[in-house]
Amino acid sequence: MTNEESVQVSELSQKVSDMSVDQSVAEQKITPWEVEGAVVDGVQMSVDYDKLIQKFGTRHIDQELLDRFERVTGHKPHLFLRRGIFFSHRDMNAILDRYEKKKPFYLYTGRGPSKGSMHLGHMLPFIFCKWLQDVFDVPLVIQLTDDEKFLFKQGLSLDEAYKYSKSTVKEIAALGYKPEKTFIGQFYKNIIKISKSITGSTAKAVFGFTDTDCVGRMFYPCIQIAPCFSTSFPALFGSKKDIPCLIPCGIDQDPYFRLTRDISVKLGHPKPALLHSKFLPALQGSKSKMSSSVDNTAIFTTDTPAQIKNKINRYAFSGGADTLELHRLHGGNPDIDVAYQYMCYFVDDDELLDKLADEYRKGTLTTGEMKQHSIKVIQEFVSEFQAKLAKITDQDVANFMDPNYPRTFYFSDSI
Ligand code: TRP
């Protein structure tokens, strides 16, 4: 496919041999189910993303790639790209090659809902996908994996998980996707073929499953892999096997797609390309990520302005000095200040952010003032989202989930 391909002889074997290092208590552990930074001399560290790139065998999203992106698409890279929030990729150049040649590709992402509403961290890939879809005018398929949550989350019933996935569709729709460009669903085609090409020992090596895990868990990766292949969507691509997808996702989801890339050739499909994001820090700081199950680590789409204000004021880790006097004297550190970090995800204006960081470092801007700015930004984002959500109807949801809803893209004629 590309030069990048030829050097990566087997992404999977690299992972399998690295897996054993993961077992050490001191090493960071990033899997689809666990995200833990390293512990060094009893001290919890943040996730080391450079190390992940090395270990997973992915590529940095560097300035050269961003420049090419801008040249090819005519769009200034999204703030998530400019600020290294989406920081790693596989084969993004191959996708840009296709876009230049007007050859089709599609976007794929997904969500396994463990609650009725998302938190801000869950929204990142969806916000980013919406932008990518606007830039490229390609189909987006979104997989809902209530089955995954049922298999992996203790105490969650299948009915409950299904109910959550229904409310998740509404939330996704509220981000401005159009049903004529987007298909949201659960896809069972191809799953069986995939399941025949993955052995139990591979699943154990890649995902760390053990003999006490139920077979449903072992089988689940086949479900998440199926939408990577264009034949899973006959209504979109007919029987075409050769249309690749680009998957924006959290870096923790990479094992699924590393495995997909390993079996694609055998199954006669192109390898998926990927864009990986960092995790949105918990309110308590970058040593942990926002978590649905710990309410005070996260800001939810359902939070009221008062709740947002309270959470940020009370819990957002401050990079400011211990006292106001010391802060005025020595300044603070915006790089570890959660209120500032959140603004880096939600404020597009680079100059404004630089100015705030600069004043914070000088000590002219206090922690309280930084939090005020951040509260306003997040409150606005969440209430605008809630207003859009209120307008989503059951018919909208049905359209997104109807595989035969009429859909058109720039390459529709060539398929
Ligand atoms: N496993 C993901 C989750 O826990 C859901 C998911 C399914 C997904 N398919 C995906 C995420 C593709 C990213 C890309 O939420």
Place of tokens 């729709």: 173
- Residue 414 confidence (pLDDT) above 90: no
Q: What is the mean pLDDT of residues 319-325?
A: 95
**Cα 249 to middle of ligand 1, angstroms:** 7
Q: What is the mean pLDDT of residues 326-346?
A: 96
The pLDDT of residue 413 is 75
CA nearest ligand 1 atom 9, residue: 110
Place of tokens 């952010």: 353
What domains lie within the chain, and their CATH numbers? 49-279 (3.40.50.620), 305-390 (1.10.240.10)
Q: Which has the higher per-residue pLDDT, 114 or 310?
A: 310
Q: What is the mean pLDDT of residues 57-82?
A: 98
CA nearest ligand 1 atom 5, residue: 111
Mutate to test the pocket of ligand 1, among 117, 143, 146, 251 (most ligand atoms within 8 A of CB): 143
CA nearest ligand 1 atom 8, residue: 110
Q: Provide, rounded to the nearest whole percent, the portion of the chain with pLDDT above 70.
A: 93
- Please give the mean pLDDT across all residues of the chain: 92
Residues in the ligand 1 pocket, defined by CB under 6 Å: 32, 108-112, 143, 145, 148, 224, 247, 249, 253
**Cα 278 to middle of ligand 1, angstroms:** 15
- What are the residues whose beta carbons fall under 8 Å from the beta carbon of 362, sequence distance 6 or more? 331
- Residue 307 confidence (pLDDT) above 80: yes
- Bridge partners, residue 141, by sequence: 108, 183
Least confident of 54-58, 143-147, 186-190: 186-190
Q: Which has the higher per-residue pLDDT, 189 or 59?
A: 59
Mutate to test the pocket of ligand 1, among 187, 229, 256 (most ligand atoms within 8 A of CB): 256
Q: Which has the higher per-residue pLDDT, 274 or 292?
A: 274
The pLDDT of residue 8 is 42
**Residues 353-376: pLDDT tens digits?**
999 999 999 999 999 999 999 999
**Residues 212-230: pLDDT tens digits?**
999 999 999 999 999 999 9
**Residues 14-48: pLDDT tens digits?**
444 444 455 456 799 999 999 999 999 889 999 99
**Cα 82 to middle of ligand 1, angstroms:** 24
Q: By the 8 A CB rule, do 407 and 367 touch?
A: no
Tell me if the pTM is above 0.85: yes
**Cα 66 to middle of ligand 1, angstroms:** 25
CA nearest ligand 1 atom 3, residue: 112
**Cα 254 to middle of ligand 1, angstroms:** 10
- Residue 3 confidence (pLDDT) above 70: no
- Residue 2 confidence (pLDDT) above 60: no
**Cα 38 to middle of ligand 1, angstroms:** 24
The Cα-based distances of 104 to 2, 240, 246 in angstroms read: 17, 11, 11
Q: How confident is the model at residue 12 (pLDDT cuts 50, 70, 90)?
A: low
The Cα-based distances of 281 to 181, 195, 304, 360 in angstroms read: 31, 35, 20, 20
For residues 166 and 199, what is the distance between their CA atoms, to the nearest angstrom?
33
The pLDDT of residue 283 is 97
Mutate to test the pocket of ligand 1, among 114, 119, 253 (most ligand atoms within 8 A of CB): 253
